[in-house]
Structure 1
Amino acid sequence: MYEQDFSKDVQVRTFRTLFLSDIHLGTRGCQAELLLDFLRHHQAETIYLVGDIIDGWRLRKKRFWPASHQAVMNLLLERGRQGTTIVYLPGNHDEFLRKSRKLRFGCVEFADDVEHVTAAGRRYLVIHGDQYDVVIQKAKWLAYLGDRFYVTALAMNTWLNIARRKLGMNYWSLGAFAKQHVKQFVNIIGQFENTVASDIRQRKLDGVICGHIHHATSRDMNGLHYLNTGDWVESCTAVGERFDGTLEIVRWAGSEQATTRTNHDREPVIAA
């Protein structure tokens, strides 16, 4: 049985809002232990679960649900029972939950997308993001094929990091490196971001907070604020809203190596 150790005093950072996506519970690549550590050190008045929280694609093929994955669900539900607002916006991997849209089950509210207003009054669309993915919408079979390649790459990454740990080195993501440096990945990410920004401009909103492509970033796109939450498979990132309305990307490498990414050429802190 999985048990969490809350006996030690920990420094907790409180946000007005936390945005988490692409956790992929039910897969071997899910960094559930790191997410539990992150949640232990972070509280929020509202938590948005921005899709692909549970990986229905993988669970349909083979059941994989260790105690740490159930512990993530239990902790989130416990936060909801304690008064945290929990909003679940299903993605393509947990699309079976889209039938629950605009409903509330216990302490969890379901919706396809929502408009979030920050403490500073700026309006953001919160949505998983697969709605902007041409492959998902037009050629889903290709998306399933891509998912199989992705699982293979994650398996390779697991063995790579076992070797790195034995050498005393920190976790390193092969997939994240490829997305930053391989031209094809960079082009796909750029197209996705431009498509999202175009829709947000038509909706006359100030920005968007989404997931789906497993690439965390915060950037200004000609006056629109584009935020991607990243994932809890490779990058272990979230988006946090401070009480003054500022939005930032939080990168988590464990409580002993905790870092908050706030100043980067592609990840500015923007008072929202």
Structure 2
Amino acid sequence: MEDASETRHFRTLFISDVHLGSKAAKTDFLLDFLRTHEADTIILVGDIVDGWRLKRSWYWPQSCNDVVQKLLRKARKGTRIVYIPGNHDEFMRDFPGIHFGGIEVAQRIVHEMADGKKYLVLHGDEFDVVVRNARLLAYLGDWAYDTAIAINVILAAVRRRLGMPYWSFSAWAKLQVKHAVNFIGEFQRVVADEARRAEVDGVICGHIHHAVMEDIDGIHYVNTGDWVESCTAIAEHPDGRLELISWSHKVSEAPAGKRASKLVPILLPKPLSEPSQDDGVRAA
């Protein structure tokens, strides 16, 4: 438990899968997080803007502008911000090396921690066979995910009225499907293999909305999670130590117009084991 009004400062923050332009994006939560967390460097690990959904129907409320303006303001004040595009904001991949308002675009980077360890940082969609080779199936999966998120909203409202804690139907459903579990395990393995080929100590990615930090055959695998369901980020301390931050769902349950004053930890799914190859499941 800690007071949300206290600003924490880190060497680096890693954030991914915000999906600005999607009604499911928890922009208010991210703004609250950015107000109370500062860093020398912020690395945006893909799917910050949801170009797929914006193509289907335009949705860009003021809160999306607020997130963009908050990041630009941090850049103006001296924070280095690196934008690594994902599959939902793949239009940004046409601008590697370009700076937009102080935000630099890169396909992938190798980040050296304060303790000298090197991490490959990339979104990870290039290891998703469905996204790469079956775009129509990926779009259908995207629609199904939207539907699950809509169910989340209804259930959250009912559970609030009953005084019950937040619970994510979409996250639960994803982890109950055997193929999805197999996909996550296989995804983690192949991303760790890519880090091994790059001769680094670890890898930081996003894409599958499954926040976790674990060792995979000598490679430290880190997934940043998302700001659609879990509201998670990875923080590097001044000594190079990494922390998985879960921004409280209690913020979402506060009455409209009021901010929660406390952070309450949430439980993350346990690391998965015994992965098997599956190309038929799409990552979010």
TM-score, length-scaled by structure 2? 0.87
- Give ranges in structure 1 of 5+ residues lacking alignment: 1-8, 268-272
Q: Which amino acid aligns with 1:215?
A: H
Instruction: Indicate how the Cα distance of structure 1 residues 116 and 67 shifts in structure 2: closer, same or farther if over 3 A, else same.
Output: same
Instruction: Indicate how the Cα distance of structure 1 residues 13 and 261 shifts in structure 2: closer, same or farther if over 3 A, else same.
Output: farther
Secondary structure in 2 matching 1:256: coil
> Are residue 63 (structure 1) and residue 58 (structure 2) matched?
yes
Counterpart among 263, 266, 276 of residue 258 in structure 1:
263
| Structure 1 counterpart of 2:203 | 208
> Are residue 33 (structure 1) and residue 28 (structure 2) matched?
yes
Give distance in 1, aligned partners of 2:141 and 2:122.
Answer: 22
| Structure 1 counterpart of 2:44 | 49
1:237–1:251 contact (8 Å) kept in structure 2: yes
Secondary structure in 1 matching 2:261: helix
Alignment of 1:137-216 (within 5 A): 137-216=132-211
| Structure 2 counterpart of 1:6 | none
Counterpart among 115, 124, 128 of residue 133 in structure 1:
128
| Structure 2 counterpart of 1:5 | none
Give distance in 1, aligned partners of 2:212 and 2:176.
Answer: 15
| Structure 2 counterpart of 1:104 | 99
Residues 82-123 of structure 1: CA distance to partner in whole angstroms, max 9, x if unpaired?
100010001000001111112112210000100000000001
Q: Which amino acid aligns with 2:155?
A: L
| Structure 2 counterpart of 1:94 | 89
Secondary structure in 2 matching 1:59: helix
Alignment size in residue pairs: 260
Give distance in 2, aligned partners of 1:229 and 1:201.
Answer: 19
Instruction: Indicate how the Cα distance of structure 1 residues 259 and 115 shifts in structure 2: closer, same or farther if over 3 A, else same.
Output: farther
Instruction: Indicate how the Cα distance of structure 1 residues 107 and 24 shifts in structure 2: closer, same or farther if over 3 A, else same.
Output: same
Give distance in 2, aligned partners of 1:263 and 1:158.
Answer: 20
Instruction: Indicate how the Cα distance of structure 1 residues 74 and 113 shifts in structure 2: closer, same or farther if over 3 A, else same.
Output: same
Alignment of 1:1-20 (within 5 A): 10-20=5-15
After superposing the two structures, state which structure 1 stretch, 222-231 or 158-167, moved more. Answer: 158-167
Q: Which amino acid aligns with 2:224?
A: T
Residues 38-96 of structure 1: CA distance to partner in whole angstroms, max 9, x if unpaired?
11111111000110000000011111111111111110110000100010001000001
Secondary structure in 2 matching 1:46: strand
Alignment of 1:73-84 (within 5 A): 73-84=68-79
| Structure 2 counterpart of 1:72 | 67
Give 1:266 shift: 4.2
2:211–2:268 contact (8 Å) kept in structure 1: no
- Give ranges in structure 2 of 5+ residues lacking alignment: 252-259, 273-284
TM-score, length-scaled by structure 1? 0.90
Instruction: Indicate how the Cα distance of structure 1 residues 246 and 193 shifts in structure 2: closer, same or farther if over 3 A, else same.
Output: same
> Are residue 230 (structure 1) and residue 235 (structure 2) matched?
no
Residues 213-261 of structure 1: CA distance to partner in whole angstroms, max 9, x if unpaired?
0000000011100000000001100000000000121000135341468
Q: Which amino acid aligns with 1:74?
A: Q
Q: Which amino acid aligns with 2:241?
A: T
Give 1:177 shift: 1.8
Instruction: Indicate how the Cα distance of structure 1 residues 84 and 140 shifts in structure 2: closer, same or farther if over 3 A, else same.
Output: same
Between the aligned residues of both structures, percent identity stands at 51
| Structure 1 counterpart of 2:80 | 85
